[in-house]
Structure 1
């Protein structure tokens, strides 16, 4: 990776079950290690799924450790160890709580702390990486090693301030684990979940509707809009990559010429839009104003979609018979409304 220089690397395995730490000595002189670290850093730098944070006010442990790690202070090894101890303490406490209340465990892994430079800029990466146990095919002993396929559980990326930029902190954690960003790192979220929910859904739906307003593509827009609302309704966590994959990547337009590629391009630009975070906890009551949609279906007649409709594209059918054409709505409620109230065809 261009312009990346590793200045310091530390790895501790966290054994939550036994409440023990184990330092793993790794050498940057080994090509396999440097390839792994380069790939890990690249994965985190390129990830669109991150959230902006700030250090809490006052003196906090991880914040105080940054300068000693960056300058390789005389006691920096102790500082690295203390960060690992701190995380283990928070994970043991959280693990007991999760097992008692939800019957699940904290994800197992190791703490990696990396000081790296990009040009003249200093950066600190603290991340929880996957550490697998494998059965050696020759000795049949269990060995532990870094997973080269699935690397990162959670990450803290700090672009340190310098003469050319302000310091910025980004956290990548699909589960928004509070023990990670609040208890361990002692950070504050810059934008609230309420703000992120409202702002993101507004921008995403606008990206769909503003791409084309041609009448012939209105139904495709309606289906995609409905699917976006469904994503917000059916998920607790917003993750931009998940949204793109679940709603847009597998969508087959009703109209062959529907400009789905242009819609995706607009969404790609939204990834770089810093008006909302690309990862946050969805607040359901902040999507209400975007649930409703009104479609004109005739003079004085409108169809109002007030909530996410499952399989919307199968609810409507074309009616074309004896020179008459229109739309059939296939729902029990529509049937019950017209049954006995509307004259049947002769």
Structure 2
């Protein structure tokens, strides 16, 4: 990636000011390397959601104006910092009654181009400062973390005669308002498509590993249900539900399944983002229900996600007879015997 312009502005919410980073030659060289790493990590971040600019987005308009007159980079980058400061001040005012204070931060603004490609890329990275103590005198200092993976980022591709493409990660409210963007896909669509994609893949597990299938599908549902309204990363879902699964069948390899699932956001017939807010409205009862035939006349229906499924339903074997034990007070009342 060829980098043309970079700027970093420290944002001070309390006094409503921004300050451009200016340093020595050595410091500037370090910053340039920091910016290169920021572009690399932002471009390679797979936990993103696709957005589109709203009609009057200032970020879009200002960058397109800058492309017409590249000598105005300093004006453009300072304007970006001012817009972000304004949105963060608004957010701070909204949470002031809860005695919450937004973390100080800095904004990286980077213009770059891929080699042999006539597209322009705008990279925006909001970095929250961290308070640390100096190892020499334990004086409190504020600094920027080297690892920028979990930050508010935007990787925006501008191509002639095309609508810009935005990949946004960790999109807090002030960040999306600053960008003035809307998600391409509704949260309900993302959730339903992700669930369907994973559910389809689990059918292959069901054929040979019924117990693992039942527990994985239930864990998938509980993972989503328990995070309703929250932003999740698809990678985190795969790690928690599939990679960390302890197989009930020794022949089942959950890590191999996890590798097959990782690219589903791009390859499934109905695409979904690798980061989205969970909205289960379209994951209806028909999709969720699971049926287990116990005999030719008795069927166990699991109508929704069940917390602690492995504790509520357990296998039972005694004297050559096999069955299950279901912990249920209501069921006990139906089948108890009076003395």
Whether the TM-score (by the shorter chain) exceeds 0.5 is yes
Verify the 8 A CA contact 1:132 1:146 in the aligned structure 2.
Answer: yes
User: Structure 2 matches for 1:262-301, cutoff 5 A?
Assistant: 262-273=256-267, 275-289=271-285, 290-301=287-298
- Distance in 2 between residues matched to 1:37 and 1:28, nearest whole Å: 14
Query: In 2 relative to 1, CA 142–294 (structure 1 residues): closer, same or farther, beyond 3 Å?
Result: same
Query: In 2 relative to 1, CA 103–149 (structure 1 residues): closer, same or farther, beyond 3 Å?
Result: same
Deviations 1:37-81 (A, max 9, x none): 233222222222111111112x43111121244466333312211
- Distance in 2 between residues matched to 1:212 and 1:276, nearest whole Å: 22
- Distance in 2 between residues matched to 1:278 and 1:143, nearest whole Å: 35
Q: Quote the residue 2:242 is aligned against.
A: 248
- Distance in 2 between residues matched to 1:207 and 1:18, nearest whole Å: 53
User: Structure 2 matches for 1:6-85, cutoff 5 A?
Assistant: 6-25=3-22, 32-57=30-55, 59-70=56-67, 73-85=70-82
Q: Does 1:113 align with 2:109?
A: yes
- Distance in 2 between residues matched to 1:309 and 1:9, nearest whole Å: 50
RMSD between aligned residues: 2.6
Q: Quote the residue 2:146 is aligned against.
A: 148
TM value normalised by structure 2: 0.88
Deviations 1:252-288 (A, max 9, x none): 1100111423421221121434711111111132233
Q: Quote the residue 1:219 is aligned against.
A: 211
Query: In 2 relative to 1, CA 108–228 (structure 1 residues): closer, same or farther, beyond 3 Å?
Result: farther
Q: Quote the residue 1:177 is aligned against.
A: 172
Verify the 8 A CA contact 2:50 2:168 in the aligned structure 1.
Answer: yes
Where structure 1 has 5 or more consecutive residues not aligned to the other structure, the ranges are none
SS in structure 1 opposite 2:71?
coil
SS in structure 1 opposite 2:70?
coil
Deviation of 1:251 (Å): 1.0
- Distance in 1 between residues matched to 2:318 and 2:81, nearest whole Å: 72
Verify the 8 A CA contact 2:289 2:303 in the aligned structure 1.
Answer: yes
Give the total of aligned pairs.
331
Q: Quote the residue 2:90 is aligned against.
A: 93
SS in structure 1 opposite 2:75?
helix
Verify the 8 A CA contact 1:40 1:152 in the aligned structure 2.
Answer: no
Deviation of 1:152 (Å): 4.8
Deviations 1:204-263 (A, max 9, x none): 221222x3332x511101101111111111112232122122212211110011142342
Where structure 2 has 5 or more consecutive residues not aligned to the other structure, the ranges are none
Q: Does 1:232 align with 2:224?
A: yes
Verify the 8 A CA contact 1:9 1:115 in the aligned structure 2.
Answer: yes
TM value normalised by structure 1: 0.86
- Distance in 2 between residues matched to 1:223 and 1:140, nearest whole Å: 50
Query: In 2 relative to 1, CA 339–104 (structure 1 residues): closer, same or farther, beyond 3 Å?
Result: farther
**112, 119, 124: which one pairs with 2:122?**
124
Query: In 2 relative to 1, CA 197–107 (structure 1 residues): closer, same or farther, beyond 3 Å?
Result: farther
Query: In 2 relative to 1, CA 230–104 (structure 1 residues): closer, same or farther, beyond 3 Å?
Result: farther
SS in structure 2 opposite 1:212?
helix
Q: Does 1:191 align with 2:185?
A: yes
Verify the 8 A CA contact 1:69 1:80 in the aligned structure 2.
Answer: no
SS in structure 1 opposite 2:246?
coil
- The worse-fitting range, judged by mean Cα deviation, of 247-256 and 141-150 is 141-150
